[in-house]
Amino acid sequence: MDSFPFTPPICLLRPTSNMVIREGKHVDKEGRLHLPGLHNWDYPKSTVVGLLTEMISKFEEDPPLSSKMTVDNKDPHELLAFVSNLQINDGGRTHDQQNIKVSVIGGGDLGMSSVMSILSKCKVDKLVFIDIAESSTKGGSTDLEMFSLPKVEVSKDLSASAGSRVVVVTANSWSSEQSYVSVVQNNVDMYRGIIPTVAQLSPNAVMLIASQPVDIMSHVAWRQSCLPPTHVIGAGCNLDSERLSHILDINLNAHKPAWVIGELSDNKVAVMSKTGHSSNVQPEIAAGSSSTKPLLDRAFEMMKNRGQRSWSVGLSIADITNSILTNKMKTHSVSTLAQGWGGIGAEVFLSLPCIMGTNGSMRLAGVSLGQEEDSKLRESVTSLSNLISQLRI
């Protein structure tokens, strides 16, 4: 594979002396591969793991090589059947199907709300609650220890999180610093003592960030963890998106999914799906239009008085966690690496509609937004880029 990973890999088959190329719909006579995953390559969202998975699927239907005739000739489908049964992931290891473990790092109201909501929503074998001493949002661990909830382990040691499928980080380190950059830097410094260790202990986990500001802290966690961008997300605008869809469905009789995207600030904007809730096809974002804007604006207005309370954010975190654990492939608006989406060139994290499953997030394709919405998104990109450039990550 050449020119990898920033541009699409150039894949050529080089058969051994006892093999020949079988020209077909995915391979030309020169051995060059033609696959959707190569044509639509989008670094860093596209990965070798995803490409290999697609190759296994396509070549099981149409084998690209055949062996020269010998007395010991075997059906090439036998090899492909064997390969298709292999489980591949970015960490080189498969999850332990018998042990579903989730860790919540950071106490306080949001940490406790996340624990209770995950216990109620998700099927877990163990939930580890780690109360970080450095976090200003701490507390609740003593109560959990006293009342001894089933499946909950309380700890102050990050090593207790080892082997987690999902790691939720709610810790914040607020201070009396006057500068906003200094306040955020305190959080970044605290993360430096958490994120790299947690990533090493659970290299196959999906990291779900709820610390504030969520778009910046998700970006920081991705940088510090060295995990693939598909495995580091922020809770972002998921709560607002669920509320928006509910209002559209129940109050305004518009039975299509909708998402709030962009920065978790006044610059966030709403988009709607092309298809309805009951559709079995992968959802697509509808391009901005004058017909949907009044409806979305009205729904947005109805959402104004709903705050981001700890218990409601906890429920949102549990919903995302459940989609990951059950491989639900539900579309959530989560904070993710936005570079390359809709012409965004900067390395920033923004909430975008992503299909969530066991292997993390997969962004929906970008679309043309209305002028007002696009302007807000670009303003957020500039603002977030400026802030991240001032932080010592």
C-alpha 164/C-alpha 201 separation (Å) is 8
Global pTM value: 0.74
Please indicate whether residue 261 or residue 71 has the higher confidence score (pLDDT): 261
Does residue 139 contact residue 107 with C-beta atoms inside 8 Å?
yes
Intervals of CATH 3.90.110.10 along the chain: 237-390
* pLDDT reported for residue 8: 53
C-alpha 28/C-alpha 274 separation (Å) is 35
* pLDDT reported for residue 159: 95
pLDDT digits (tens, 9 = 90+) for 342-366: 899 999 999 999 999 999 999 998 8
pLDDT of 3 over the 50 cut: no
pLDDT digits (tens, 9 = 90+) for 161-214: 999 999 999 999 877 777 889 999 999 999 999 999 999 999 999 999 999 999
pLDDT of 309 over the 60 cut: yes
| pLDDT tier at 333, thresholds 50, 70, 90 | very high
| pLDDT tier at 40, thresholds 50, 70, 90 | low
**Start-to-end C-alpha separation, the chain:** 32
Please indicate whether residue 267 or residue 231 has the higher confidence score (pLDDT): 231
Q: How many CA atoms lie within 13 A of 353 on its CB side?
A: 25
Cβ neighbours for 286, distance < 8 A, ≥ 6 positions apart: 271, 272, 273, 274, 292, 367
The CATH class given to the 101-234 domain equals: alpha beta
Cβ neighbours for 206, distance < 8 A, ≥ 6 positions apart: 165, 166, 167, 231, 232, 233, 324, 360, 361
The mean of the pLDDT values for the chain is 82
Domain 237-390 has CATH 3.40.50.10470: no
Please indicate whether residue 154 or residue 36 has the higher confidence score (pLDDT): 154
C-alpha 303/C-alpha 239 separation (Å) is 11
pLDDT digits (tens, 9 = 90+) for 218-254: 999 999 999 999 999 999 999 999 999 888 888 777 7
DSSP state of 45: T
Intervals of CATH 3.40.50.720 along the chain: 101-234
Q: Where are the beta strands (DSSP E) in 136-245?
A: 152-155, 166-169, 206-209, 232-234
Over the Cα atoms of the chain, what is R_g? 23
